[in-house]
Structure 1
Amino acid sequence: MGGACSRKRDQLVDEDIVLGRNSGRYCKSGNSKWLGISTGRPAVDIQQVGGSRPSLMELCISKICEDIDKYSTFSMLPRDISQQIVNELVYSKCLRENSLQAFRDCALQDLYLGEYPGVDDSWMEVISSQGSSLISVDLSGSKVTDGGLICLRDCTKLQSLNLSFCDHISDCGLHHISGFSNLTSLSFRRNSATTAQGMSALSNLVNLVMLDLERCTGIHGGLVHLRGLTKLEYLNIKWCNCITDKDMEPLSCLTNLKALQISCSKVTDFGISYLKGLRELALLNVEGCPITAACLNSISELGKLSYLNLNRCNLTDDGCEKFSLLGSLKVLNLGFNDVTASCLVHLKGLTNLESLNLDSCRIGDEALVNVIGLCRLKCLELSDTEVGSDGLCHLTGLNNLESINLSFTAVSDIGLRKLSQLISLRSLNLDVRQITDTGLAALTSLTGLTHMDLFGAHITDAGTNFLKNFKKLQSLEICGGGITDSGVKNIKDLSSLMLLNLSQNHRLTDKSLEFISGLTALVSLNISNSRITSAGLQHLRPLKNLKSLSLESCKVTANDMKKLRSTHLPNLVSFRPH
């Protein structure tokens, strides 16, 4: 298939977004992954762009990067200039081990080498030569080992260290960084070699504010070493299936904790009771934990809680009356629970609620009467429910609503007329088989839309005429098989598009690529299962921002794609076929 099921791609609430940060290595969407991460600073372009020219400094840095092999050292340059040069080399993926030597003793402050190819222990000597100037280092996804971390011992003022996905680091490596008392942020995701014993090294990091141990599956019993980290505000132990109620007891001492992620662990209602004293806690993610509605007694004492994820916790209506005690909640995720319309009655008092996820809950049109008073609601997730067109009348007064997911519901064209008044909408998921051109015509007043998912809707070339009203669209998916090259012609002027998914439209030809060639902001493009051929790839050459390209089940070979990347699309990092 050219694209994945959009319902699970378009989760409306993510705790990383709530905390105002990117989610890291993995994003939820195959097609949207490049919208979920920073694309970084664009490489210096010496051509005139938008009426402005690059500065003399930018031109000089660009030239230095082109001739990087001619330089043996930059240590005589001011630190800020050396920093800009190394940043540019990393961004353009031109930094190599031999060119790195030129930055020895440059007193650099930041080295962001996450996922950078070739980084291993041989790079560490130059990295450590920055000494006490070094503040932030990202080595995530590298081949650095415990031995390589020893080199950092002179970087005494290090504040941020990312060692996520470093498979060659063990407990011994943690002990090498135990003396970094200035460290405020440490990320150590997906490391099965870390044990409770190794966690003892963290007890010295008394200034830690952020600690990420996601998918560290051997740390059961090790959280006791966090008791003294009283400045800790963010703790992520998601997908640590070794974590039990006993591990929650030490966390009761972390009274400054503002965000706690314990999803997919073995914590029960009893473990949640240890959290009652965390008065500063604003975010609690217990998705997939074996808890019941009884834990709401403990959670109701968390007076500052604004984000609560109870997704896949097997909740039932019993006990859900405790929701009325959570008056400060802004985000509530109840997806994939056995709750019904009777449970939603207890949401009426949550007047501060800004996001509500009811994905796959057993609710229909009558349940939505309970959201009428939630006037601050911005995001509403109703995918895979029994909600139909009649229920949408209850949403007409939600004037702050910015995002709604109606995928796999019973909503039809006639119901979309009721959404036409919600001019604040920015994101709309209509992956619904019964939606047609008529429904799309009813939405033309929503000119502020930036994201529209019509993945499985029956949209034809005639319907694409209505897309001309959505000039601000950044993301568009139409995969129902009903459009031809003529339909794509109506998309060619949507110049803000960053993601375009037209997979499954088997009648599209190389002519469509010609139309798309003007969409130079595109970061992700999917036209799989079409009649695209290698000859049409020439039209993609102007798309210099493209990072993801999928042309599966087309008459295009992996070699064709590689040649396109090497000659015209240097930023392309994901392509299919490959």
Structure 2
Amino acid sequence: MRGHDRINSALPDELIVEILGRLESKPSRDACSLVCRRWLALERLSRRTLRIGASGLPDALVSHLARRFANEIVAVGQRAYGGSHLGRVAYIGPGRRRMDESTLLQPRLYGGSDKSGLGDRVTESYCLSDVGLAAVGDGFTKIEKLSLIWCSNATSVGLISIAEKCRSLKSLDLQGCYVGDDGLAAVGDCCKQLEDLNLRFCEGLTDTGLVKLALGCEKTLKSLGIAACARITDVSLEAVGSHCRSLGTLSLDSEFIHDKGMLSVAKGCPLLKVLKLQCANVTDVALQCVGIFCLSLEILALYSFQRFTDESLGAIGKGCKKLKNLTLSDCYSLSDKGLEAVALGCSELTHLEVNGCHNIGTYGLESIGKSCTRLSELALLYSQKIGDIALSEVGRGCKYLQALHLVDCLNIGDDAIRFIARGCRSLRKLHIRRCYEVGNKGIVAVGENCNLLTDLSLRFCDKVGDEALIAIGHGCSLRHLNVSGCHLIGDAGIIAIARGCSQLSYLDVSVLQNLGDMAMAELGDGCPLLKDIVLSHCRQITDVGLAHLVKKCTLLESCHMVYCPGITASGVATVISSCVSMKKVLVEKWKVSPRTKRRAGSIISYLCVDL
């Protein structure tokens, strides 16, 4: 009967809260909150995470939210957590507001000077301060996860307020905050459940604060991140190694950490599973100790090490049998011998990245292909000594490979890609950039054999042409395609993609000089789910093709079309008027009419201010 409430009169508050708590979609929850005042109140009660894009005065905003959402945790700022949220989460960071050409920050954005200092004051007024942190502590005492990222106005005073009132805190991210030792010591004294701590770019901290925290959270601390903290030295790591035996994740980026500190952690933290190091003064001695004592290690990332040798990887191979993920970046002293040791000892390896390690070549990667049969992702970047034979072994041995990334591997060509295509039929992602020996034959083999492929990127592979994309269109259902700079590709290849890949949502065809309006029309007909397209430097595309594209691709959210002489102000206006979901248009400034600017100025970006 019209006007009769069949729900509110029958369902108790507890049941409605339970239903609202099971809604994972934010739009769905927001819609439910608009039904009536009762549902609005109950939705607030059931909400565990509230994301706010801060503007205005963040201190006042947080205070207001603390009063309005008594049981909620607030996320304010530029970043937001993705995925599901377990526990109560807060992200508080520097607020953003849209600025036009008259903003006081304009001189600084374009490299000018701000002699008045007004720009700094405007920026700081949009950063949370100790007053806001006190409001968080007063209003959200049950908070479990708190991120204060680049909050330059927050000091130890605010952090002490949080520590004293939010004693259930389990995760604390202080990246870029200039807090001092007193604040960190207070966290150690009060937050006895703290598990995760990020101190990246905390320049105000010294060993004193971190040592006190290690003593206070010795039973619970599981994850620690440190980067660019000049006054945190081996003394801190010795305290962590002596007291925090439950530590499972350690990320270090420091010139002030030496073997002494790392030895303490390796010997004192046997449960360590994740280790990421960029420490110029750590040597083989420390990593060999990791191989001996950290037998539970699963993820190891080594960046820019010149003092590590194959002996280090030999120790890892002998001791860390559970290793699954290995990243070697710019480690010039490592060779095939070290990679072979890892391959023979770490048969459970699933992810491998070799980036700029110029002494690792074909033989080392062959060992991986022969021994690591569970490999699911392989990335080879700037690996000049690795040839086709290496990938042939990967194709034979790694049947479960799902992702392959190749960047500037000049000795890898079609033969290697054919071996991968025929052996790794579960391949879902293939990214190749500036591998000039890869051409049609290899990509045709991928189209014929890898039917599960959804993500293909062939940037600046100038031997790849229409024949390759025709095979891909016939054999794969792509969602992501990037063929930027593949100048042999024209209408025929993109038409094949349009007709065969109806689920396509991202397309980059920039710098394709032979691509024209016919392909745009076919994309409009065949790819209605397209959300992002990059057309920059396509000289043959005109307003006519663009109109055909946007007529049916109404879900478009971003369109880049700079340096397309055939696209005029009329074409830009057509895109704006046809795509109601559009969030970003990149175009030359002179192609935007006053009317278009008034209608959608907030989503238009310019390559340069004036031409």
TM-score, scaled relative to structure 2: 0.73
Distance verdict in 2 for CA 1:132–1:383, change over 3 Å:
closer
**Could you say which residue in structure 2 is the equivalent of 1:488?**
494
- Hey, what's the Cα distance between the residues in 1 that align with 2:279 and 2:480? 30
> Is 1:436 matched up with 2:439?
yes
- Hey, what's the Cα distance between the residues in 1 that align with 2:487 and 2:223? 45
> Is 1:368 matched up with 2:368?
no
**Could you say which residue in structure 1 is the equivalent of 2:251?**
261
> Is 1:184 matched up with 2:170?
yes
2:151 maps to which of 159, 166, 186? 166
Runs of at least 5 residues in structure 2 that lack an aligned partner in the other structure:
1-6, 8-12, 35-39, 74-87, 96-125, 588-604, 607-611
Runs of at least 5 residues in structure 1 that lack an aligned partner in the other structure:
1-59, 61-74, 96-101
- Hey, what's the Cα distance between the residues in 1 that align with 2:537 and 2:393? 39
**Could you say which residue in structure 2 is the equivalent of 1:121?**
59
> Is 1:209 matched up with 2:162?
no
**Could you say which residue in structure 1 is the equivalent of 2:508?**
501
**Could you say which residue in structure 1 is the equivalent of 2:107?**
none
RMSD: 3.5
1:204-353 aligned at under 5 Å gives the runs 204-221=190-207, 222-227=209-214, 228-229=216-217, 230-240=219-229, 242-252=231-241, 253-264=243-254, 266-275=256-265, 276-287=267-278, 289-300=280-291, 301-314=293-306, 315-323=308-316, 324-338=318-332, 339-347=334-342, 348-353=344-349
**Could you say which residue in structure 1 is the equivalent of 2:527?**
519
Shift of 1:249: 2.0
Q: How many residues align?
A: 498
> Is 1:155 matched up with 2:140?
yes
**Could you say which residue in structure 2 is the equivalent of 1:49?**
none
**Could you say which residue in structure 2 is the equivalent of 1:476?**
481
Shift of 1:356: 1.9
- Hey, what's the Cα distance between the residues in 2 that align with 1:183 and 1:106? 21
Percent identity of paired positions between Structure 1 and Structure 2: 23
Distance verdict in 2 for CA 1:414–1:319, change over 3 Å:
closer
**Could you say which residue in structure 1 is the equivalent of 2:388?**
389
Q: Which has the higher strand share?
A: 2
Distance verdict in 2 for CA 1:87–1:356, change over 3 Å:
closer
- Hey, what's the Cα distance between the residues in 1 that align with 2:224 and 2:399? 35
Shift of 1:488: 1.4
Alpha-carbon displacement from aligned partner over 1:150-180 (angstroms, at most 9, x marks no partner): 2220322222223223343232221221120
Determine if contact 1:242/1:265 at 8 Å carries over to the other structure. no
Give secondary structure in 1 for the equivalent of 2:197. Answer: strand
Return 139-148 or 302-311, whichever deviates more.
Answer: 139-148
Shift of 1:425: 2.1
Alpha-carbon displacement from aligned partner over 1:338-395 (angstroms, at most 9, x marks no partner): 2122222312111121122222222222333322111222222222211112222222
- Hey, what's the Cα distance between the residues in 2 that align with 1:387 and 1:376? 21
Give, as a single letter, the amino acid of the residue that structure 1 aligns with 2:579: H
TM-score, scaled relative to structure 1: 0.76
> Is 1:552 matched up with 2:562?
yes
Q: Which has the higher helix share?
A: 2
**Could you say which residue in structure 1 is the equivalent of 2:472?**
467
Shift of 1:336: 1.5
Give, as a single letter, the amino acid of the residue that structure 1 aligns with 2:60: S
Shift of 1:236: 2.5
1:138 maps to which of 91, 95, 105? 91
2:48 maps to which of 110, 126, 133? 110
Determine if contact 2:17/2:43 at 8 Å carries over to the other structure. no
Shift of 1:82: 8.7
- Hey, what's the Cα distance between the residues in 1 that align with 2:438 and 2:24? 51
Larger Rg: 2
- Hey, what's the Cα distance between the residues in 1 that align with 2:378 and 2:57? 43
